[in-house]
A and B are shown apart, each in its own frame.
Chain A
């Protein structure tokens, strides 16, 4: 279980923000001659390091603009980090915006092969899993209809089915479990939980802390591009709720919350010490009990 599958070392991502976007040749030449090509540096990520072991289910928390999506894009290989190292052992499947990779004019059947190829799977494997994909997506005869006529829910279902049926080693989930109707959402969550039993590694981004608690066993918090906390999911979620969500409330009502704000500071020290895998099992129990109490409510 403790085999390292993903290692992020001192990763930083720098963007050059031009004050005015230059995307045509005339402007570029003029600005180049005038020596006005100035960039403003912006670090979306700075010195982020962590490792993920096989079977870990890592939740990534952070406010908007904290660098979560940038981090996932770097891990997925879409973006290249400006500095630092990234080691990935295994097949990554990103589930970012389901169905975004489809061709609108292609039918569902054709898109299964196309999307499978985009994810880097050989034809034989896609053929083998074809029936399973169609079945899970519940599209029925609509599978022969061009995707442009699909509803967004149908597209999401098909995308989810293709990406998960192939059993990747690392699955990246970016806010995707909130699509589809309640029934499919349950089904997809069940699917992901099943994959956990097979030892899949998951990187999960969500603004719903409940979902993170339910799915992950470990979590990190990003704030303005830096890693501020890393530890078991329960502690981190609590910290996040208090420090970030609470902090916003506190700033609007500064007097009442001041006392509470001091608390997490001591807790932060505790969670900053790295999570150990043997605590993960305990956490799992915690999550289950937490769920039950919530459902009772």
Chain B
């Protein structure tokens, strides 16, 4: 443990450099550059609002805010886990030649996605002002779901990165799983309108989104959702760390 901390200190500059690289290269050579972090959620929210506003029965003037809160968290989770999953394979050239603590690769991908998502939150604040969802004291609680989703993504990222080294199929399987997670996250519908409520218990993202929405809309945190999401997050992180550490010496033989 002591050695791990020492090693992390030594390589924290590398973590910083790799995170910076991921952010820098994401928008390099695009004309609008970093503006896309704002434009992308705006455009998808407009599309989703136009598509689903007719389907919803009750008339809700704050529907775009409702979509954005779910959409921002889900897209962070899907992007960061996808990138983390591929990180070992895509850095195989480096891993084969120089010793670097391997978790740095998935970790830097998660962090860069997180920073980009945090920039995207500007859109949410804009939408809150436009649609008159004014922040209350409860908005400070938002740190909790935002922290939990980071923990969850890190855990899932480590698990997926390990599995993807040994089985390439994971990349396709995870795409399907992500689709299922998206449709069961109540991003653009009311969870109460679904008959089979049990399905939500399998989806930690849903519970994180619920609490994030509570914070934005000025309600207190839902204790049950908080408990479920925290349990999923820390369990996945624990499994992720154990699995990754157990298998990391074998990575090089499989990439």
Contacts and interface: CB of A to CB of B under 8 A. Distances in A.
A26 B98 contact: no
A287 interface: no
A34 to B, nearest CB: 18
Contacts of A43: none
A80 B249 CA distance: 6
Contacts of B16: 117
Nearest to A163: B98
B95 interface: yes
Given A80-B249, A117-B14, A106 B167 contact: no
A25 B167 contact: yes
Interface in A44-99: 73, 76-80, 92, 94, 96-97
Interface stretch (A4-12, A119-127, A184-192, A211-219): A119-127
A121 B173 CA distance: 38
Contact of B11 (A15, A16, A24, A120): A120
Given A103-B21, A118-B94, A76 B253 contact: no
Contact of B253 (A15, A28, A118): A15
A24 B168 contact: yes
B56 interface: no
Contacts of A26: 169
Nearest to A105: B25
A15 to B, nearest CB: 7
A101 B94 contact: yes
A78 B17 contact: no
A24 B169 contact: yes
B14 A76 contact: no
27 contacts: A16-B253, A23-B166, A23-B168, A24-B169, A25-B170, A73-B96, A76-B98, A76-B99, A78-B95, A92-B99, A94-B97, A101-B94, A101-B97, A103-B25, A105-B25, A105-B28, A106-B21, A106-B25, A110-B21, A113-B17, A114-B17, A117-B13, A118-B94, A118-B100, A120-B10, A120-B11, A122-B13
Interface of B: 10-11, 13-14, 16-18, 21, 24-25, 28, 93-100, 166-170, 173, 249, 252-254
Across chains A and B, which 9 residue pairs bring their CB atoms closest together, nearest first?
A77-B99, A117-B14, A117-B17, A80-B249, A25-B167, A25-B169, A96-B97, A24-B169, A117-B13
